Every structure is written in C-alpha cells, then in structure tokens.
A and B are shown apart, each in its own frame.
Chain A
C-alpha cells in the first residue's frame, strides 16, 4: 500500500511535467492541425540549452527557463514561418507531419554533433534533496517542477482566455474559416501558436534535464509518450491533455513500482489502445473537427 501511494505521488508529479509538454503539442494541433513530431526534440533541445547554461555559466536550471523559453519561442516561430507555412499540395496535414519528423531528425543530428551521444544530466546541488511527509518521499526538484508546470499552464490559460491573441487562437481552433472571415490573421496566429508550443517544450525541457538522463536520441521516448497523451486526451484539447498526462503518469509509475520499470512505457500504449477501442476520438476530443 505504501509503495502504491508513493507511486501515485510520483506519477502525479511526473504527469504534471508531461502535461506541460503535451499542452504545447495539442495547442499546435488545435490551431494548425499539425501533429508536431518535433515536440520531443524541442524538449531535448531545451534540456541541452539548460545543461550548457548550467555547466558553462552556472545558471540555475529553474532560472534558465527564463532564457530558454523565449529562445525556443523564436525557434518555433521560425520553424513555422520557414518550413510549415510554405507547404502546399493535396494533403498538408500528412506533409506537415513528415516535415516535423524531418525537423526532429535534423535537430537530433545537430545535437549529437554538438554534444555526442552519451547520456547527460543537469545536476544542481539540490538535485537529490527530498522531503519526507507522512512517510512518503517528495523530491524537491519534482515538486518544484510540478508547481512550475502548473504556473506555466496557468499562464497559458490566461493567455488563451484573456488576451486578443488568445481569442484569435480559440476562434481558429473552433472554426478557421470563420475566424479568418472575422479578420483573424491565420499566419500570425499559427506562427505565434507554434512558438508558444515550442516555449512550453523549453520550459518542460529544463525540468526534464534534471529529472532524467538524456541524450539526443531521447526524443523518441518523449514523442511516443507525448503522442499517446495527446491522442488519449483528444487532439486539440488542452484540458484533455492535462488529464491524460496525469492518468498516464500515474499509470506508468504504478506499473513501474508494482511490476517492473521496463514495462512502464508499455502502459502508455496499452491504455491508449484500450481507450481508442472504446472511444476513437480520445477522452475529450471533439467529434466533428480535425482529423477524427
């Protein structure tokens, strides 16, 4: 029982970070109908930037988020502008899927060129500090990461609900055609949306670098988890992706504690297939719009 509750605590804390990554991905899908296969590599890129800032200049990993987030925001805007916007042809959705995969490969290549393939890790002095509450271990890094994810998700929510840009985004998600007719600049919304998605990846990446050992190839693990999360939550639904991330986090952590860590990733896929069997559009996916 003790190990079960411990696993649930761990799962919720980890799930929070995944929620952050997945919210960016699902936001990109909601706006542009692009399944961003580069989200995982953007997280790894964020982690490596944090690593460099930490080892070269001693910037605290949590503080480095203030630097990496704007940087990756610009990267995201640039990617959308240079590589996704020019796409045309029969099926832009399929093409953009492949383009983002190519971006993932390219960034993986650049990272392994710059850093090599060895596993690294961002280890600030407080990395192994943890509290014991009622007999349960809560690691400082995980807890702060969880809180931070909530803060960033909150910010994202505020941006989407309270700003003019957010209104344009929501209008585009609901109906791109009408949104454009009402004067929403689709290109601008797409570019900023992709930038925001990349920015959440950067924020999550800084934390990811402290919680996990990573190398440039880690993005495959990440993207496979992220994809199951966003499909489970229902593509395009940010709330859905948060719920799905928590479900997946807890499920894999419980399996890891009670069965074996090697099967914890497997949980993701099994849960996904079970959900799709019953409900092909995911937990909170809309019936009409998009790919479903």
Chain B
C-alpha cells in the first residue's frame, strides 16, 4: 500500500518544522529550549526505532546500545578539543555510517530469532554495551565517565546549535521513515511484520530488508547519541546506555502509534514534557519512576495500538456510515483486525 505525499501532509510537515525552527528565534523562557531539545531528541530516537520496531515489527529493546556507542564516539574523538565547535556535528554522518555497518552483523545474529526472543537478545546488547563502557577504562574512562571539550559558542545562543542539530536529526529520521513507506522497502517490511514466513515464501527478500531497516535505524540513533554527548558534555556508562532511554523510544512510539509517520513524534511531544514535569514535581528519582510506570501501564492497557491508529480507525468507521459501521462492528467482533492491516495514517 503506497503512501502518497498529499498537499495536506506537506503543509502539516512544513508548519511543524517551521514552528520548531522559529522557536529559538522568537525566544521564550530558558527552560523551553532545553525541554524542546530533549523532546526533539526523543522524537528522533523514537522515529528511528520505528523503522525496525514499527514497520518491521521487531521490537528492539537494545537501541540505546547504539545511542551509547554514538555518544562515546563523539566523546572519544572530541575529548580534547572541538575544533571550532562544529566539528562534532560534521563527524555525525561518519558515526552514523560506521555504527550502521557495525550493526549489520549484530542485526543478522539477533534477527535469527523472532519477536519476544529478539527483544531479549537486544536487551542483552544493552547490557553488553554498558559492561564494555564500564570496563574498557582506557577508552571510555569507565565509571569516571568521559568528557567532551566544551563548545565555544556564545552564551546567549549556546543551546541553538544543539537544538538545530537535533531538529535536523528528526527531519532526517522522518524523511527516511517517509521514504520507507513510499518504497518497496516499506512494503517488504510490512509483509515481514504480517507474516515473515509467507513473505519469504513468495519471494520477499526478508533478511535484506530487515537488515537495511536495522542498520539505518541504528545509525540514526547513534548520530542522535553523538549530538547528545556533545550537548550534555560529560557522559557516564549508566546514562549513555540507560535502559530508560531504550524504553522511552519504545513507549513513545507505542503511545503515538507504531508503524506511522507521526506517531513517534506525537508520543514524544506528550511524554517528554510529562516526564520533565514529573521529575520537577516529584524530585529526581523515586516517585518519578512510579509515575512513569503508571503512565506506561495506562497506555498499554487503554491505548494498545497507539493514538493515531485509534483515531484513524474511528474516522474510517464514521466515514463508512451508520449502516456500514454496524456491519463493521459486527465483523470486527467476529474477526479482530489482523496486525497485517497496513493502516494509512496521516
């Protein structure tokens, strides 16, 4: 099912990005830009995760491993000096391609398993990376962490380069997401998600498309990690390879709607500000975890398919008319909609 670029879609994307581009220029309270930077970071991470977790239906729980690798790559390369301030940004494509290549053999091994086991294997990837970050002290600095040289940016507009870098990462991730949907890759991934064995049987090159999706997704996540490391300036194994980041990406995609273009973005724009609010309201650690878990459970129990697919389904039903809707309902009760149904959600 090809996904056409409609005028409404272009306008929506244009307005969205225009507003975000203008935010620093218009100005606002100091915390706004900081919160937005992290929101956009998660939107980019979640959109990248969506390539493999949403479109292909392989729920990787280890993507933060690549985030951490990207972060450490930046920290190691720019430990001493950042060469004019923009060099770390210019190195991002190199990091992205490097990590994408690195992720190919990893993806190949882990995607020999399906769904649940895949999730487990990718979790172990997270722990492997964290253990390495702790133990390879000569390279990563171990538990003492590793610093990136401070950026020589003007204090008044210090956040701007990081903000725009994150925004470019989000635009890239969404453009690739869009490309996937419009190309044969997206179709092939949809068949993998629906029924991999049958897809393989009718000649879809399942391994190739899965690996492409996994590698692109990992590379993007690593690039975001690179920007993050430069922004926060000092990275530690437990924060660069934090299970909460991994679960953040997954949760945001689930909330907004997996396998949709805007779902992960919507999820991030709801959850990250909420998360910041909880952290402010309840203090840094304990109660915040409980509130986060509660939000998490509510989403899973009441919106298992995500916001956008649920809305799209409602709209479809309304369009079908009263009589048709009644028939659809009856049909839906007999046969729940299979996951294979590739919904076109705008």
Chain A residues within CB distance 8 Å of chain B = 29, 33, 35, 83, 86-91, 93-95, 97-99, 101-103, 105-106, 108-110, 112-113, 117, 220, 223-224, 227-228, 230-231, 235, 262-263, 265-266, 268-269, 272-273, 276-277, 280-281, 290-292
Contact = CB atoms under 8 A, between A and B. Distances in A.
A214 B141 CA distance: 25
Interface residues of B, number: 44
Interface stretch (B14-22, B119-127, B227-235): B119-127
Given A266-B128, A276-B112, A94 B119 contact: yes
Interface string B302-338: 0011000000000000000000000000000000011
Nearest to B113: A280
Given A97-B119, A102-B297, A292-B113, A109 B290 contact: yes
A109 B287 CA distance: 6
Contacts of B78: none
Contacts of B112: 276-277, 280
A105 B297 CA distance: 11
A227 B113 CA distance: 14
Contact of A91 (B110, B286, B293, B339): B339
B286 A113 contact: yes
B164 interface: no
Interface in B89-107: none
Given A98-B296, A102-B296, A112 B114 contact: no
Chain A to chain B: the 8 pairs with minimum beta-carbon distance, closest first: A109-B289, A89-B304, A106-B293, A291-B116, A109-B290, A102-B296, A90-B339, A113-B286
Contacts of A263: 135
B293 A35 contact: no
Given A93-B116, A277-B109, A291-B114, A112 B121 contact: no
Nearest to B137: A262
A99 B250 CA distance: 12
A101 B297 contact: no
Given A276-B112, A291-B113, 9 more contacts: A83-B297, A87-B300, A87-B304, A91-B57, A97-B119, A227-B124, A228-B124, A230-B120, A262-B131
A266 B127 CA distance: 9
Given A91-B339, A112-B286, A231 B293 contact: no
Contacts, number: 134
B247 interface: yes
B289 to A, nearest CB: 3
A29 to B, nearest CB: 8
A176 B290 CA distance: 34
Contacts of A227: 120, 123-124
A110 B296 contact: no
B243 interface: yes
Contacts of B134: 262
Contacts of B304: 87-90, 95
Contacts of A268: 124
B251 interface: yes
6 contacts: A91-B57, A95-B304, A97-B119, A105-B247, A266-B128, A280-B112
A28 to B, nearest CB: 12
A269 to B, nearest CB: 5
B73 to A, nearest CB: 21
Nearest to A96: B300
Contact of B300 (A98, A223, A228, A265): A98
B254 A98 contact: yes
B124 A106 contact: no
Contacts of B128: 266, 269
A35 B116 contact: yes
Contacts of A117: 285
Nearest to B296: A102
A106 B251 contact: no
B186 interface: no
B287 A113 contact: yes
B292 interface: yes
Contacts of B124: 224, 227-228, 268-269, 272-273
A292 B117 contact: yes
B127 to A, nearest CB: 4
Contact of B293 (A93, A102, A220, A262): A102
Contacts of B297: 83, 99, 102-103, 106
Nearest to B111: A280
Interface in B273-301: 285-290, 292-294, 296-297, 300-301
Contacts of B293: 102-103, 105-106, 109
Best-surrounded residue of B117, B127, B254 (most CB of chain A within 10 A): B117
A110 B165 CA distance: 37
B1 to A, nearest CB: 17
A94 B131 contact: no
A110 B294 CA distance: 12
B59 interface: yes
Contacts of A98: 247, 250-251, 254, 296, 300
Contact of A231 (B114, B121, B296): B121
A276 B339 CA distance: 27
A94 B301 contact: no
A217 B131 CA distance: 15
B139 interface: no
